[in-house]
């Protein structure tokens, strides 16, 4: 049981640092996209700095955290194989698959921005940043509530939470546009 607690603690630590990396990398994408709209030489100075920052965040924190969180998760599942039969764990693993899809899409965006290919707007990136938040909320509630989780209320809750995020995004966008005027 002591080994289990150490492995679980390490899993949780690396999940936290993984999410921190995902949250911050997309903010850096926003800044990088907005820096591309600046006049020279400010644009070049900022873009070079953001490339360094995103590289370090992505390869020193985010990727290693994702790998280590996965290794410790697999170790936990090896110690507790009966979890794979539990509905809450199956749904959680579905969200983990979504999280990896989100991570790989962020990697694709990272590579594009490192090559000065700006395919998304800063507003899109602000909205994209909320994807990890929704996954985080879903996973935390699943893990904490487990079998007591009421699926109907859970789905409604995630849906309402997503709507609140969208409304907050629109409100923030209006404030930004007013401040530009």
14: which 2 tokens? 């690396």
Answer yes or no: is 92 a known binding residue.
yes
Do residues 81 and 4 touch, judged by C-beta distance below 8 A? no
Q: Indicate the helix (H) or strand (E) that contains 100.
A: helix 87-114
What are the DSSP calls for 3-67, one per residue?
HHHHHHHHHHHHHHHHHHHHHHHHHHHHHHHHHTTSPTTHHHHHHHHHHHHHHHIIIIIIHHHHH
Residue 94 to residues 54, 79, 100, 112, 155, Cα–Cα distance (Å): 28, 20, 10, 27, 14
Do residues 66 and 15 touch, judged by C-beta distance below 8 A? no
3-class secondary structure, 117: coil
Residue positions forming the annotated binding site: 11, 92
Numbered residues of the known binding site for heme: 11, 92
């Amino acid at each position: 049981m002591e080994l289990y607690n150490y492995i679980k603690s390490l899993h949780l630590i690396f999940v936290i640092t993984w999410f921190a990396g995902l949250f911050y990398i997309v903010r850096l994408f926003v800044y990088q996209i907005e820096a591309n709209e600046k006049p020279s030489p400010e644009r070049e100075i900022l873009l070079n700095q953001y490339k360094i920052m995103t590289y370090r965040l992505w390869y020193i924190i985010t990727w290693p955290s994702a790998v280590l969180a996965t290794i410790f998760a697999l170790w936990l599942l090896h110690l507790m194989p009966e979890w794979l039969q539990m509905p809450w764990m199956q749904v959680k693993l579905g969200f983990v698959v979504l999280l990896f899809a989100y991570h790989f899409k962020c990697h694709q965006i990272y590579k594009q921005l490192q090559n000065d290919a700006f395919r998304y707007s800063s507003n899109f990136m602000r909205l994209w940043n909320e994807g990890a938040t929704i996954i985080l909320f879903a996973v935390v509630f699943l893990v904490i509530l487990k079998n007591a989780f009421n699926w109907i209320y859970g789905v409604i809750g995630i849906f309402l939470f997503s709507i609140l995020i969208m409304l907050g995004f629109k409100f923030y966008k209006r404030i930004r546009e007013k401040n530009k005027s």
